């Protein structure tokens, strides 16, 4: 009895939530810096209908820049200096480099992406790996709506557990590097 447009919206919302809580959707882009420009809009360089959710890494000639935060940048004098950037942070949709570049160079940026709210499709990998789990997330969302003929809080909780379990499974798969080896922990003595 649920209208098809609401079902499609719930599937999209479920897919976006899955991408926000995992690193299943990533993009690697080439960013050309400009002299005296510390911030760069990543959406202009990304695929259509995607947005940056986090920056996983920024590399220059094989060396990784260190992540920082806008709060550290406010306290640091390096944010106003020019030179070779060594730190970065994501501010909304913009990558901000600490030390404003004084030369043109190419950075390789790996982005944890997600579909935009206005997107009409979800990533193929999401459909291939977690088709029924994303559908379970959509069903959970729809069944928690109050005063609808399809409202069913007990069944919604079951579907929510299936959806959350798939997110946990994907996060473990990512932590293992996509392989099947067991996770290992290195003990550090204090």
Q: What is the pLDDT along the chain (190 residues), one digit of tens a residue?
A: 889 999 999 999 999 999 999 999 999 999 999 999 999 999 999 999 999 999 999 999 889 999 988 777 666 665 678 888 989 999 999 999 988 899 999 999 999 999 998 898 898 888 899 999 999 999 999 999 999 998 999 999 999 999 999 999 999 988 888 777 777 777 888 7
Residue 33 shares a structural domain with residue 105: yes
Cβ-based neighbours of 137, under 8 Å, separated by 6 or more: 14, 15, 17, 18, 159, 160, 162, 163
Residue 149 shares a structural domain with residue 78: no
Contact call for residues 30 and 107 (beta carbons, < 8 A): yes
DSSP state string for 17-30: HHHHHSS-SEEEEE
Residue 182 lies in a domain: no
pTM of the model: 0.82
Residue 134 shares a structural domain with residue 63: no
Distance CA 115, CA 122 (A): 7
Range of the domain at 77: 26-115
pLDDT at position 72 is 74
Residue 30 shares a structural domain with residue 14: no
Residue 38 shares a structural domain with residue 77: yes
Last residue of a domain, one of 96, 115, 134: 115
Contact call for residues 72 and 4 (beta carbons, < 8 A): no
Number of domains comprising the chain = 2
Residue 76 lies in a domain: yes
Last residue of a domain, one of 63, 85, 115: 115
- Token pair in block for residue 70: 């806008």
pLDDT at position 76 is 66
Last residue of a domain, one of 89, 115, 141: 115
């Amino acid at each position: 009895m649920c209208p098809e447009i609401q079902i499609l919206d719930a599937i999209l919302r479920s897919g976006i939530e899955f991408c926000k809580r995992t690193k299943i959707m990533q993009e690697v882009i080439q960013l050309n810096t400009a002299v005296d420009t510390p911030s760069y809009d990543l959406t202009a360089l990304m695929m259509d209908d995607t947005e940056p959710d986090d920056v996983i890494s920024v590399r220059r000639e094989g060396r990784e820049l260190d992540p920082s935060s806008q709060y550290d940048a406010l306290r640091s004098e390096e944010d106003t200096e020019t030179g070779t950037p060594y730190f970065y942070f994501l501010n909304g949709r913009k990558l901000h480099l600490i030390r404003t570049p004084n030369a043109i160079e190419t950075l390789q940026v790996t982005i944890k992406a997600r579909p935009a709210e206005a997107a009409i499709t979800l990533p193929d990998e999401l459909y291939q790996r977690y088709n029924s789990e994303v559908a379970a997330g959509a069903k959970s969302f729809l069944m928690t709506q109050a005063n609808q003929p399809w409202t069913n809080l007990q069944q919604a909780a079951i579907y929510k557990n299936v959806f959350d379990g798939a997110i946990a499974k994907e996060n473990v798969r990512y932590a293992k590097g996509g392989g099947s080896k067991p996770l290992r922990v290195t003990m550090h003595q204090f």
